[in-house]
Structure 1
Amino acid sequence: MATTTTSEEEEYMQNLRSKATELFIREEWTNAIETYSHFITLCTHHLSVPHPNPLHHQKLHKSLCISLCNRAEAKSKLREFNSALEDCDHALQIDATHFKSLVCKGKILLCLNRYSMALNCFKTAMLGNQASGNCEMLVGFVEKCKKFEFLSRSGTMDLSDWVLNGFPGKAPELAEFIGAVEIRKSEISGRGVFTTKNVDAGSLILVTKAVAMERSILGGKDLSEDTQLVMWKNFIDKVVDFVKKCHKTRNLIGKLSIGENEDELDVPDVDLFRPENVGEVNSNEDVEIDMVKLLAILDVNSLTEDAVSANVLRKNNDCYGVGLWLLPSFVNHSCCPNARRLHVGDYLIVHASRDLKAGEEITFAYLDPLSPLNKRKELSVTWGILCKCKRCKFEGEFLLSKQEVKEIEIGIERGMDVGGLVYKLEEQMKRWKVRGKEKGYLRASFWSLYSEAYGSERCMKRWGRRIPALDAVVDSITDVVGGDHRVLKILMEELKRKGGGSGGGNLEMEKVFKLAREVYGKVVKKQAMRTLLELCIAAE
């Protein structure tokens, strides 16, 4: 038969709670969680035992509520968000208006980018505590939730102040955003990400935070093999640690490709990747992780910050980073890419690098799109890619049959006059009746020739009247490969040589800004874009 709580037991529980509180204040989170768990178990047991004094149970309920809330906060410090939310919900079942539990839950939901849910928590906390002085503290959280909820719906983002101030402090916290896209079967490989409406060049497509990231300081040198191995191990450990704590992330990572049987993979609904989607209910956080599969997934889907289709925004671009972003992992490669990545802290911003039509597949350049076919084929072996894009098909069938192209390639190797080689290629394209996008394909493949020719004052004095104007070549190339920072750089340098705003300079500057939006996206205003353009010119 159940008995009431003895004074010794009450004293023991009081000491246990005091010890847990002390550990919590000292930020010894793991020990605090363990001690609170012991207290919560005892408290729950004693609540199941009848007591003659009803105030006793009220006191226990209050202690249990506070302990659950503190344990939740300690868990959140260790990024055990799922378990922390369960503690908050348990506390709120005891007292639906418990201020501290509502605030704790709101903060956790905000960390998980579930803005509208977090907003509801903070608003409820404010309504129940209007008479206290705590509401002022919540105003900032409420405004932040409203702002991020709006940004997550609209995709409007402006990094101008951060850029103009020289990238101070940590990277800004961004709102996650998924635009008008869906995941479908792809003709390129397995599954891909497709637009569901027309998208203008520079427009935002996705903003998403990394599951995990690892960075290393370059210090002006390339990373050694040992350093890369240490980075990779640390990165894997971070991913494993996170998926152990978050069943939603574990389930979503399990939907990524391992590089085999691509056509047999299921096509997940894009809504599964939205932050507000809680995911499948799975309280068993101790599910064993298939490390062989996880390593294969990371090998296929991890992205690096130094990719040809990426830009990194930070004060000193002296780091090398690798990370895993879930939805961007479905974006396939093309040698005629239409999207680029912008890295801001742990966030990945994906924007259109040229105009997209509804139903068009979004693609990145895994390989350098401004390199010749033979070089791209060589790199594709390393990546395990068999590119079947229209450009590769055209160049594969066309270039191999033209002896003149081989002579130009030999001329490049022998260091012949680049202006003469550009002139020869342009003349041959006239004879071969190459027009439109096909001309853009060839100019992109021989970009090194064009960039060296346009960058040489001596060469332009000799060949400038006999080769196409830089503007025409830029338009031709960006039409097929989208915006590229190297093309932007040479266009900006040409504008500076001409003296900027004089004699039609405003029109030319608008052309530069248009290309800059294709490279960096519409994330900053013109003055901030000028700062990025200066950085582009200064880059090696």
Structure 2
Amino acid sequence: MNKKLVDDKILSADDYRQSGNKYFKSNDFAAAVDEYSSGIKLEPHNVTLLSNRAEAYLRLNQFVKAINDVEIALKHEPDHLKASFRKGKALCGLKRYQDAINILKDLNLKMQNSTDDSIKRSTEKSLKHAEMLNFESQHGKYNYTQIIDEFCEKIKINKYSENWICGTGPRLDHADFLIDDIEIRSVKGKGRGWVAKRDIPEGTLLMVSKAFEVVFGNEAPLSYRSIDFISKTMNTATHSELAARIAQKLIVKSDLCQEVNELYAGPEIENLDEDLPCSVDVKRIEKIIKYNFFEATDQWDVIRSIKEGSRLTKDSGAGLWILPSYFNHSCVDINVERLVIGDMMFIRTCRPIWSGNELILNYCSPMKSYEERFYALGLHGIINCSCRLCDLDRSESNEVKLRRANILETLGPQLTSTLFNTNFNPSLINELTKLIDELKDLRKEYLDLEFQSYELKSSLATAYVRAGNLHKSLLVVKEIYEFVKTAQLSQCTSDAAYQIASRYARLGQMKEAKEWWDVALKEIAEPIKGKFSEEGTKWREEALYLAEKLLPNMVSGAKNKGLL
């Protein structure tokens, strides 16, 4: 056996194997790789060391290196079961799902008479998983119940340390998907964007994209956010950590540099030259993040309830999703919407789309004021949004702007602050109504763009409840629902439908209440899994399950009101 002298002690390849195993068991996979590598230098064809190093590479997501090791191992020992098993896992990591299935099926046959139950069970489990990934990537068919279960389990954190309870947190093990009906094209005045190649129905799943890299709010070393509104840049620990992780990933996997470097990095960064696609430029990465980041979590109850004051709930984190970065923005008139579950982004059509149409989503809510949207979009490098809402905001006279600002920033908040006073004043209803009517009058030709009266209308609906006039409150909430539904504000439609159901329940009209509760369930579930095709009870069971997982507070309220 080959040996090496270290600190007056002769170390053998097996010594390095044992040392590597210790590091592996302590989850220090990089150190384990170093130890196994030292052993392999002594015995280049040691199948056990090669197979062990392959497993360490798998844990580091270095799948190409893992395959290189197992192929050398299998060349010298073709029937090495663990090497074959790890090759299947590495192929899955490289998204070569059918190749992985072939390897694992062959291994499964070899294992039929094996007495090693552990690797036999692992092979069967990995084969099923590879088949699931292949089906997802080929057909865009996902088990959303399973995905939500996985997410709700992995999002849990230790209440003291704020570390994940489950390994790497809500990074989900599912495949990417891209429909063949869309493509990236040049878009006049916008650079590149996604365009429909043919007509696409409403509710169609266009793509599922796993984050290239993501940092959740509790993972950054610090928790602060500093926005420079002059230069429109954001400096957060989350973004700094994201840039560092992307750079480190590209150093290890240089073959991924091009897909990152091709993303828009702002006018101040020159176009790619011949050498840049394979280089790791930290400044460019920071600019790419600035213009292309998405927040990493949707604010469901399951996240809000984790821990009051937790960094995970205070900072929504940030991630880089490659293909979704090519969607251009509009504050209004969007035709696709995104949903983030863990590190996976699901993008569906929210309107019918015709061949040749550009696919548009929004990066910030139209409920915000023009100034808030201007700054928020500036953080993404969007200096001059040309949507109908922004054009209207810019075109209004100073007199109109000042009056709207006075209503929305001063008069409205003053009134709503008294809404829950012990001694309710019924005159509040008339005063709120006057403000809402004035906002409508100021935009009487553009009522479909009067987003900012939403909060005042919600307050008016509550004021009617406090005054004991449930019928009037119901009418206001129905008006809210119709508005947000038309505007495709899915984050508001489920709540509005639930509020309608609640008011019907308080009026004792349980038939209507349960019908609107069904509407609320669909508004919750359909952005996740698409349009329900069944009108029996199966859709309701699935929708209710998703709602219980993601919005337990709403479901609890529905039970208390007799809606379930």
Q: TM-score, normalised to structure 2's length?
A: 0.72
| Contact map agreement 2:481 2:496 (CA 8 A) in 1 | no
Alpha-carbon distance in 2 for matches of 1:370, 1:114: 43
Tell me the equivalent position of 1:377.
374
Q: CA deviation at 1:330?
A: 1.7
Change beyond 3 A, Cα 1:462–1:41: closer
Q: CA deviation at 1:107?
A: 1.6
Give the counterpart of 2:491 among 485, 500, 506.
485
Report the residue type matching 1:486 in the other structure: C
Tell me the equivalent position of 1:239.
246
Change beyond 3 A, Cα 1:33–1:485: closer
Q: CA deviation at 1:95?
A: 4.6
Tell me the equivalent position of 2:56.
74
Gaps of 5+ in 1: 1-8, 45-62, 267-281
Alpha-carbon distance in 1 for matches of 2:129, 2:546: 26
Does residue 254 of the first structure (1) align with residue 255 of the second (2)? no
| Contact map agreement 2:53 2:69 (CA 8 A) in 1 | yes
Alpha-carbon distance in 1 for matches of 2:297, 2:341: 13
Report the residue type matching 1:73 in the other structure: E
Tell me the equivalent position of 1:205.
206
Gaps of 5+ in 2: 155-165, 228-233, 413-430, 532-538, 558-564
Change beyond 3 A, Cα 1:338–1:446: farther
Q: CA deviation at 1:264?
A: 7.2
Tell me the equivalent position of 1:345.
342
Alpha-carbon distance in 1 for matches of 2:190, 2:126: 43
Alpha-carbon distance in 1 for matches of 2:32, 2:404: 71
Alpha-carbon distance in 2 for matches of 1:365, 1:168: 29
| Contact map agreement 2:291 2:379 (CA 8 A) in 1 | no
| Contact map agreement 1:408 1:421 (CA 8 A) in 2 | no
Change beyond 3 A, Cα 1:72–1:153: same
Once the two structures are superposed, the pairs formed by residues 363-374 of structure 1 within 5 Å of their partners are 363-374=360-371
Which segment drifts farther, 414-423 or 404-413?
A: 404-413
Give the counterpart of 2:87 among 105, 116, 127.
105
Report the residue type matching 1:441 in the other structure: L
Report the residue type matching 2:101 in the other structure: L
Tell me the equivalent position of 1:25.
21
Tell me the equivalent position of 1:150.
135
Change beyond 3 A, Cα 1:420–1:235: same
Report the residue type matching 2:289 in the other structure: L
| Contact map agreement 2:183 2:194 (CA 8 A) in 1 | yes
Alpha-carbon distance in 2 for matches of 1:264, 1:231: 27
Once the two structures are superposed, the pairs formed by residues 251-290 of structure 1 within 5 Å of their partners are 251-260=258-267, 289-290=280-281
| Contact map agreement 1:419 1:460 (CA 8 A) in 2 | no
Count residues with an aligned counterpart: 481
Question: What is the DSSP-based 3-state SS (H/G/I as helix, E as strand, rest coil) of the residue aligned with 1:499?
Answer: helix
Alpha-carbon distance in 2 for matches of 1:263, 1:241: 23
Does residue 512 of the first structure (1) align with residue 520 of the second (2)? yes
Alpha-carbon distance in 1 for matches of 2:400, 2:465: 25
Give the counterpart of 2:385 among 384, 387, 403.
387
Does residue 139 of the first structure (1) align with residue 124 of the second (2)? yes
Give the counterpart of 2:433 among 419, 425, 428.
419
Does residue 177 of the first structure (1) align with residue 182 of the second (2)? no
Report the residue type matching 2:63 in the other structure: F
Report the residue type matching 2:247 in the other structure: V
Alpha-carbon distance in 1 for matches of 2:411, 2:471: 19
Change beyond 3 A, Cα 1:174–1:382: closer
Q: CA deviation at 1:258?
A: 0.4
Tell me the equivalent position of 1:527.
544
Change beyond 3 A, Cα 1:347–1:466: closer
Tell me the equivalent position of 1:50.
none
Report the residue type matching 1:214 in the other structure: V
Alpha-carbon distance in 1 for matches of 2:448, 2:270: 31
Q: CA deviation at 1:496?
A: 0.7
Tell me the equivalent position of 1:334.
330
Report the residue type matching 2:544 in the other structure: Q
Report the residue type matching 1:322 in the other structure: A
Alpha-carbon distance in 2 for matches of 1:237, 1:423: 51
Q: CA deviation at 1:253?
A: 0.8
Alpha-carbon distance in 2 for matches of 1:441, 1:469: 18
Report the residue type matching 1:19 in the other structure: D
Alpha-carbon distance in 1 for matches of 2:511, 2:290: 52
Alpha-carbon distance in 2 for matches of 1:32, 1:217: 27
Q: CA deviation at 1:257?
A: 1.1
Does residue 316 of the first structure (1) align with residue 298 of the second (2)? no
| Contact map agreement 2:292 2:380 (CA 8 A) in 1 | no
Q: CA deviation at 1:495?
A: 2.1
| Contact map agreement 2:202 2:352 (CA 8 A) in 1 | yes
Alpha-carbon distance in 2 for matches of 1:440, 1:379: 22
Does residue 304 of the first structure (1) align with residue 295 of the second (2)? yes
| Contact map agreement 2:205 2:530 (CA 8 A) in 1 | yes
The alignment-based identity, stated in percent, is 19
Q: CA deviation at 1:374?
A: 4.8
Tell me the equivalent position of 1:502.
510
**RCO comparison, higher one (Cα < 8 Å, 6+):** 1
Change beyond 3 A, Cα 1:99–1:71: same
